[in-house]
Structure 1
Amino acid sequence: MGSDSISIFLAGDVMTGRGIDQLLPGSNPPRLRESFVHDARDYIALAEAVNGPIPRPVTPEWPWGEALALLDQAAPDLRIINLETSVTTSGRFAPGKGIHYRMHPGNIGCLTAAGIDACVLANNHVLDFGVRGLEETLDVLRAAGLRTAGAGRNAAGAWAPAELGTPGGRVLLFAAAHSSSGATRGNSALGERPGLAFLPDLSDAAADSLLERIRAERRPGDAVIVSLHWGSNWGYGVPPEQTRFAHRLVDGGADIIHGHSSHHPRPLETYRGRPVLYGCGDLINDYEGIRGYDEFRDDLRLLVLVTLDAVTHELRGLRLVPVRSRRLRLERAGLQDAEWLRRTLADACLPFRTQIEDDGEGGFRCGVP
């Protein structure tokens, strides 16, 4: 017997390269080609300087920390992340980039330990080690049983959805990247050329083209998630073209808009009974100890939990669970930190009339009046 709902965990950017990779048992060589940091282990040292020693090597579960128990308690049907890291041993750094992320394939347990079902790859770092790195990423993820969307060995593969089964029915995950996130047209998949599902713009025509792909793949009863890597790294304002694009996708049949790219959570809204998450914020990275943009408190992260009606696919519940990165590991946010994040996000959501309220259970309940 099927379920009457579909519950989904959605994460923003999961960046398991550089310092995170160096913590894990099977790391790549630490050499970097960045302007100021030349050894990935220096990112561990920055974190230790702020919050104390970190053991090495750590278990694959370490970066997730207390988030694993929180996810197990929520027991979502699906767990979906934006994996903003190539999974490769390639040493061919993509030219013209200031930052490169890669995780050693031997550290894939960092993802499987969290029970991840699908990885969005439409972002500006999955090609940090070129086509070879992308193809190895696809191979490693597939071998580990993880589905992917947003990048592929050709254009058809890049735009194809990940097909995900749940007790409440099938879910299709589509993904694409926009240039506002740093993704470039040169990394787009064209014909038989490997690459990303790339959005040239956020026009009505681009939305309609994506909707045509959705209609071609969707079967009756399918729920549809559109995952978009877009927007600036910092700031709470949502450009009108993003709102218009998201609304057009929902008008055309999308059930969840899963936005990411920003380093901190951005506004969210409910539009026609469907959740639009403009920016889920980073979840796992090695930024701890890096100064700048302190007012955004990017050490505070969110677990986003969405529940849809299995038949109508309308939103039944939207819950946010605040966590904090400390010693490159997620832990439950303290009361003061959680309240700061709730209040900040509530203020940012005022233009969308979204209410962010404490649910009395360590999380936030989201809704509209």
Structure 2
Amino acid sequence: MEQTISFVATGDSFITRRLPSTTSESFVELTNLIKSADARLTNLEITTHNFEGYPGQASGGTWAITSPLALRDIKAYGFNLLPWANNHTLDYLYGGLEATERYINEYEFVHAGVGKNLADASAPRYLETPAGRVALIAATSSFHETWIAGDQRNDMSGRPGINPLRHKSVHKISKEKLETLKEIADTVDINAVTKMSIKEGFVVEKKDGKFEFGQYVFAEGSPEGKETSPDPRDMKRILKSISEAKRQADYVVVSIHAHEMQGEDKSVPAEFLKTFARECIDGGADSIVGHGPHVLRGIEIYNGRPIFYSLGNFIFQNETVTHLPADFYEKYGLGNDHTVADGLDTRTENNTKGFGVNEKIWDSIVPVWKMQGDKLTEVKLYPIELGYKQPRYKIGWPTLVKTDRILKDLQELSEPFGTKIDIKDGVGTIVLD
């Protein structure tokens, strides 16, 4: 009989405080669950260093930094796989990236999604377990454009950065609206530079029927709306990594950090993410682990493989960073006399808006799934809460809870994917064919 291997995954770990206890009942219960699996993954959504990098002009929202000792606490939970390609990877530029990687290596995590060049950032990384060899590939679709790792040439070095999943967007509108948009473009000269570049030969004129309105692309079509698709360059590169990993490991896990949503609903993934996940599985991946929007998204079982479109948060402490650069304060009209607490109070309008008042940010699940050879045999879903309504200096630690509330929300989110979840004694079980 083929051996069974088990996996556990979580969403984002944005950790800025040290663990208050490793002996509490709630911590032991959760770590026992995590450590019961062979491959154990959490997304590291923070830089870990002692300010060895300069704060970038752009950040993922909050300039994310914590002490390298936080990695000891991540280790205490039992994780052995760390994807860390996300919208905070270069909050402290290359110095922060290089220092974070150095400390991650010191704590002996298998990590992926970031590297000294594009090939390195795209490469599979391997975890050896008694039940089989597991490959991890990580990418992000949410990033500043300057964070993309650069390709290596034989005459020029590459550039450190993240493994990107870019996407293309086309806004479909009626013929009448498209003509109006063209008139507006001519009136305000929004395409003047592009037109001149075409005349001078620096830009090739597009002849695909699409119309560029500044940085946005429009086309005549019905139904009206926004269509998104993965960038073929990135899709091809990531599929190549999956192909490599599939021939070098028993199982392949793909991690994707993605904020992009359908319309204005964070809980619904953008169309290109669904395309990406399914193509990855068609290409040989055994599971897709998504995170990024800080809320749960639905689960799909596609060709006998799980796609977790978002596992929300595991540790979320974005409002207990100790330092923020001048750019943060200037954004909110504050100056040098103001402190981190002043900045956070201003951003949240004294804790009346933002993440702190959205209960769904602080609810999540920890899935545990098993495979026997090539067959998915079990997917269990364990709800966690992160302390909604606690003060910002206490909130953000996960606790296992026996509740149907979170699982019922997940049932509803997963229904469009044809996924059925049975709930019993506060634990969910996905019904497999």
TM-score normalized by the length of structure 1: 0.80
Partner of 2:10: 11
**2:306 paired residue among 275, 288, 313:** 275
Kindly provide the amino acid, as one letter, of the partner of residue 344 in structure 1. Answer: D
Partner of 2:427: 363
Partner of 1:211: 239
Query: Are 1:95 and 2:75 counterparts?
Result: no
How far 1:73 moved relative to its partner?
Answer: 4.0
**2:109 paired residue among 146, 149, 156:** 146
**2:26 paired residue among 61, 66, 77:** 66
- Structure 2 distance, partners of 1:227, 1:348, is 20
Partner of 2:364: 301
1:1-369, aligned counterparts within 5 Å?
4-17=3-16, 20=17, 24=18, 58-59=20-21, 61=22, 66-73=26-33, 75-90=36-51, 92-97=54-59, 98-178=61-141, 181=142, 183-190=143-150, 191=152, 192-201=158-167, 202-203=230-231, 206-219=234-247, 222-232=250-260, 235-286=266-317, 291-292=353-354, 294=357, 297-309=360-372, 311-312=373-374, 314-326=375-387, 327-328=394-395, 329-333=397-401, 335=402, 338-360=403-425, 362-367=426-431
How far 1:151 moved relative to its partner?
Answer: 0.3
How far 1:287 moved relative to its partner?
Answer: 5.8
- Structure 2 distance, partners of 1:341, 1:196, is 32
- Structure 2 distance, partners of 1:168, 1:69, is 23
Partner SS state of residue 320, structure 1: strand
Kindly provide the amino acid, as one letter, of the partner of residue 50 in structure 2. Answer: T
Kindly provide the amino acid, as one letter, of the partner of residue 304 in structure 1. Answer: P
Structure 1 residues not aligned, in runs of 5+: 25-56
Task: Assess if the C-alpha contact under 8 Å between 2:242 and 2:283 holds in 1.
Answer: no
Task: Assess if the C-alpha contact under 8 Å between 1:3 and 1:167 holds in 2.
Answer: no
How far 1:132 moved relative to its partner?
Answer: 0.6
- Structure 2 distance, partners of 1:290, 1:92, is 31
Per-residue CA deviation, residues 10-48 of structure 1 (Å, 9 max, x unaligned), is 11110013xx2xxx3xxxxxxxxxxxxxxxxxxxxxxxx
Task: Assess if the C-alpha contact under 8 Å between 2:15 and 2:315 holds in 1.
Answer: yes
- Structure 1 distance, partners of 2:62, 2:15, is 13
How far 1:94 moved relative to its partner?
Answer: 1.2
TM-score normalized by the length of structure 2: 0.68
Distance 1:290-1:207 versus aligned 2 partners, 3 A rule: farther
- Structure 2 distance, partners of 1:256, 1:124, is 22
Partner SS state of residue 88, structure 2: coil
Identity of matched residues, %? 27
Partner SS state of residue 382, structure 2: strand
Partner SS state of residue 134, structure 1: helix
- Structure 1 distance, partners of 2:3, 2:121, is 31
- Structure 2 distance, partners of 1:255, 1:67, is 29
- Structure 2 distance, partners of 1:290, 1:261, is 23
Partner SS state of residue 145, structure 1: coil
Task: Assess if the C-alpha contact under 8 Å between 1:172 and 1:224 holds in 2.
Answer: yes
Distance 1:368-1:231 versus aligned 2 partners, 3 A rule: farther
How far 1:214 moved relative to its partner?
Answer: 2.1
- Structure 2 distance, partners of 1:136, 1:287, is 20
Partner SS state of residue 125, structure 1: coil
How far 1:156 moved relative to its partner?
Answer: 2.4
Task: Assess if the C-alpha contact under 8 Å between 2:411 and 2:420 holds in 1.
Answer: yes
- Structure 2 distance, partners of 1:165, 1:216, is 16
Structure 2 residues not aligned, in runs of 5+: 153-157, 168-229, 320-350, 388-393
- Structure 1 distance, partners of 2:138, 2:377, is 23
RMSD (CA atoms): 2.5
Answer 1 or 2: higher relative contact order, Cα 8 Å, separation at least 6. Answer: 1
- Structure 2 distance, partners of 1:217, 1:263, is 29
- Structure 2 distance, partners of 1:290, 1:225, is 38
- Pair member with larger Rg: 2
How far 1:172 moved relative to its partner?
Answer: 0.4
Partner SS state of residue 100, structure 1: coil
Per-residue CA deviation, residues 165-189 of structure 1 (Å, 9 max, x unaligned), is 12221110000111xx3x1221011
Distance 1:242-1:341 versus aligned 2 partners, 3 A rule: same
- Structure 1 distance, partners of 2:116, 2:73, is 24
Partner of 1:50: none
Task: Assess if the C-alpha contact under 8 Å between 2:39 and 2:129 holds in 1.
Answer: yes
